[in-house]
Amino acid sequence: MRSTWKRRKTNTSLESSAISSPTNPPDREDTSGVDGHEASTSEPVTPSTTQATHKTDEEELQRARQIYANGGSSSYKSYLTPELSTQLDKHRRRMIAYPCRICGTHINRPTSDSSCSNLKKHADGCTKKQNDSNDTKTLASLGIKGTGEIDAREVAQLCAVWCAEAARPFSALVDESHQAILHPTIRKHLPSRRDVSRDIHMLYSAIQENYKGVLKSHTGALYLGVDAWQSPNGFDILGVVIYRLADISSGQSTLEAMPLDFVRLSQRHTGEYLAETVRLIVEKFGIQQKICGIVSDNASNNEVMVKELKKQKWDRFKGEGQWVRCFAHVLNLIAQAILRPFGTPKKKKASNNDPTSAQDDSSGSESDTEDAMEQIRPPTLSPEMKIQAQVTSTPMMLMNRRTPMCSTRRISNRLSLRERAIATQLKAVKKAWLNSV
C-alpha cells in the first residue's frame, strides 16, 4: 500500500510540472545510452544566448593609439606612443604600456581601464625630480661618461699638483671665478693656500726617492739650471733645475725639465756659498758624475761658483768651458743699461707700516744696477790691442765717412723733436761706452 501511494504522487508531480511549463519544447527522443546516462546534445544558438565578443590585443592597442593621437588628456604629452606590455591584467589579457619621455619607465594600464590618474601621477613626479636636479647637474647626469666621482681625500693632492704643474699661485684657488668651474666635491673641501704649500712640500719629499732612481738609471747627459732671486716677501731663494732628454718611445725623446730643489739662502750670494749649496743638492741625488754643464746668468758670483765646482773634479764637468750663459738675461740687462739715461719710472714711497717694501727699494735698485753694469761691461784691453783696433777701424771709417753723414741727415729730417732728443741721448751713451774701451 505504501509503495502504490508513492507512485501516484510521483506521477501527479510530473503531470503538474508539464502543465505549468507550456513553453517547453516538444518531446525529444530518448538519447540515453546503453549505460543509462544522457548523451550530450547541442541546443540551437539564438541571439539571446550569445555573449558580448572581446577585441584582440592588436585591436585594443590600435584603439589606445588612436586615443593617444587625439590628445584627449594632457597626461599623454609626457609619454611616447603606447605599445603592448608583457604584463597581464586580472583577466589574463595583455596591458597597454606608456613609455615615459623623461625616465623611460613603462606605465602599464589594463585595456578595460581608461583613467589617466596613474599616468599623471608618474609624470608629475618625474617633472619634479628633473627640476630639482637642474641646480646641481653633473656631467654624468648629462650622459657624459668618464668623469666619475672624486674622493674628498684626493682634493688636497689634486690642488697641489695643479698649482705645481701649471705654475699657479696658491691664492688662485680661493678666487670666486675659479671656484665657479670646480667640481662640487673640490669646492667643498678646497684647501687654503698654506695647506697647498705644505702639501707640495710633502709631495716633493714623497717622490724624491723615486726620482733618484730615475736619474741614476739615466745614461745620457744632465745639465743644471741655477738661479737665485728674491721672493716678494723678502726671502732669497736658490733654484736648481735638471735638464735631460727622456725617452718617450722607441727612437724618440723629449726635453724634460725637473726642479731638483729650492733652497732658502741664509748668507750673501757669494760664489763659494752658491757652489757649496749646489754641490749638496747634486750629491743628495747622486748625479755628480753625470753633470755635463751648468746654465746661469753672467753674474760674477756665478763665475766664481763655476770655478769652485770645477775643484770638485766631477767626471764630465770641466769648468768654465761647460758654463752656458743665459743670453736672454744678459740681453735684458743690456736693454736696461741703454734705457737708464732716459729715466726710470717713479716708485711710490713706502709707508712706515711697510718695512718690507722699504728694504726692497733700498737694496734692490743698487744691486741690479751694479749687476747690469758688471755683466755688460766690455773686457779690458791692453794698450797693444787698443792700437790694433784703432788701426783696423780707421781706414773703414775714412772710406765710409760720407755715407753715414748722408744717411744721418736723411733720417733726421723724418724724426720729430722727441725722437731727435732720444737719438741724441743714445749717441751720448754710445760715446761713453766707446770711451771706456
Residues 111 and 257 in one domain: no
Output the nine-digit C-alpha cell for 25: 519544447
Is residue 259 within 8 Å of residue 281, measured between CB atoms? no
Name the residue type at position 366: E
Residues 293 and 250 in one domain: yes
Whether 106 shows a pLDDT value over 50: the answer reads yes
Query: Residue 239 falls within a domain, yes or no?
Result: yes
Residues 200 and 101 in one domain: no
Domain count, the chain: 3
Q: What is the mean pLDDT of the chain?
A: 73
Domain span at 428: 219-339+418-436
Q: Which of 188, 217, 246 is the last residue of a domain?
A: 217
Question: pLDDT tens digit string along 184-235?
Answer: 888 888 888 889 888 988 888 888 888 888 888 888 889 999 998 888 888 8
DSSP characters over 314-339: -SS--SGGGEEE-HHHHHHHHHHHHH
pLDDT at 17: 46
Which one-letter DSSP state was computed for residue 173?
A: G
Question: pLDDT tens digit string along 148-176?
Answer: 677 888 888 888 888 888 888 888 888 88
Percent of the chain at pLDDT > 70 equals: 63
Query: Residue 12 falls within a domain, yes or no?
Result: no
Residues 266 and 317 in one domain: yes
Residues 96 and 233 in one domain: no
Query: Residue 393 falls within a domain, yes or no?
Result: no
Region label for 131, one of left (φ > 0), alpha (ψ between -120 and 50) or beta (otherwise): alpha
First to last CA, the chain: 172
The H or E element spanning position 311 is: none
Residues 322, 325, 330, CA angle at the centre, nearest 5°? 170
Strand order of the β-sheet with 291-296 is 252-264, 236-249, 222-230, 291-296, 323-325
Beta strand 291-296 with 323-325 is parallel
Distance CA 375, CA 281 (A): 27
Which one-letter DSSP state was computed for residue 47?
A: G
Among 298-312, 322-336, 352-366, top mean pLDDT goes to 298-312
Query: Residue 143 falls within a domain, yes or no?
Result: no
Residues 91 and 195 in one domain: no
Owner of C-alpha cell 588612436:
66
Name the residue type at position 97: A
